[in-house]
DNA sequence: TGCCAGGCCCTCTTTAGGGCCTT
């Protein structure tokens, strides 16, 4: 069966857990074989106030969060929802930081499958002609249908999922010869996101050779 | 008073600095 990738997005009270910021909403979209096969979204309540700027940006208010389920309960649910999935986020260092911090608060057992790939890093390498690599700009530039209000978790996660699908298709078409029939897996994306731009084709070819060698060995 | 993140990329670089991207 094709691997399942979980595309996640956090809305938060600030830029970094190290500064005391907390998640206010999380969404996870499951992609399998390029199709959306599941989605999860929930507001999450913590004891941290939403600053006015963030409330205007996301539309998530302190009043909304007072009625939301506790962050710990939400993290346990979304951890179970994404169990066994490789992860993707737009600017993954940001979401990964909140993911780890909120998981730790909720005493969720770390899932070794939860390795992150980043659509910012990938789009910088694969879409160098884009005006910039903000999620909204890339969505407009690639004519990705609007998925709802930007800066809400599910809308941004769905947009990122469509962007990821476009990036996978780009790799599949541009490096069809190097791929030699192999699919564009999360593992390959993780290698491409840290490859130099001039080494992308060689990176794909090496990856395909390793897969072929492993297949031969089994 | 002004500043406060962090990981990555690019270049006028690597003994550094500035910009991008996320809320």
Q: Residue A149: its pLDDT value, please?
A: 87
pLDDT at position A217 is 54
Which residues of the protein have their beta carbon within 7 Å of strand B? A 9-12, 14-16, 18-19, 24, 54, 57-58, 90-91, 93-94, 97, 120-121, 124, 132-136, 151, 156, 193-194, 196-197
**pTM greater than 0.75 (yes/no):** yes
CA of A201 to C1' of B10 (A): 21
DSSP A102: H
Distances (CA, A) of A112 to A50, A65, A145, A188, A200: 32, 31, 33, 17, 26
CA dist A84 and A94 (Å) reads 21
Query: pLDDT at position A17, please?
Result: 94
Whose tokens are 């080494």? That residue is A199
Contact (Cβ atoms closer than 8 angstroms) between residue A161 and residue A87: no
Q: Are A115 and A186 in contact (CB under 8 A)?
A: yes
Q: Is A143 exposed, middle or buried (0-12, 13-18, 19+ CB in 10 A)?
A: exposed
Q: What is the pLDDT of residue A197?
A: 84
Give the model's pLDDT for residue A212: 85
> Mean pLDDT, 10 residues at a time, over chain A (218 residues)?
93 94 97 95 94 94 95 96 96 95 93 93 94 95 89 96 96 94 94 90 91 71
Nucleotide at minimal C1' distance from the A9 CA: B22
Q: What is the pLDDT of residue A148?
A: 85
Nearest to A104, CA basis, from A86, A68, A67, A79: A79
Residues paired with A26 in a beta bridge = A10, A42
Q: What is the pLDDT of residue A216?
A: 60
């Amino acid at each position: 069966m094709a691997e399942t990738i979980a595309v996640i997005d956090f809305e938060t009270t600030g830029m970094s857990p190290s500064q005391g910021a907390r998640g206010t909403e999380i969404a996870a979209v499951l992609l399998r074989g390029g199709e959306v096969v599941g989605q999860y979204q929930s507001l999450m309540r913590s004891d941290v106030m939403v600053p006015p700027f963030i409330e205007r940006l996301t539309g998530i208010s302190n009043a909304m969060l007072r009625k939301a389920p506790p962050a710990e309960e939400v993290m346990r649910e979304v951890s179970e929802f994404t169990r066994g999935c490789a992860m993707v986020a737009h600017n993954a260092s940001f979401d990964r930081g909140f993911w780890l911090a909120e998981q730790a608060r909720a005493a969720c057992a770390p899932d070794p499958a939860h390795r992150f790939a980043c659509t910012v890093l990938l789009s910088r390498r694969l879409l160098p002609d884009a005006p910039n690599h903000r999620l909204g700009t890339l969505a407009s530039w690639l004519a990705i249908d609007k998925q709802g209000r930007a800066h809400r978790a599910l809308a941004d996660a769905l947009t990122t999922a469509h962007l990821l699908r476009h990036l996978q298709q780009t790799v599949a078409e541009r490096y069809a010869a190097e791929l030699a029939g192999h699919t564009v897996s999360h593992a390959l994306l993780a290698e491409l996101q840290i490859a130099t731009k001039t080494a992308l084709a060689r990176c794909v070819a090496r990856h395909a050779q390793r897969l072929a060698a492993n297949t031969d060995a089994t």
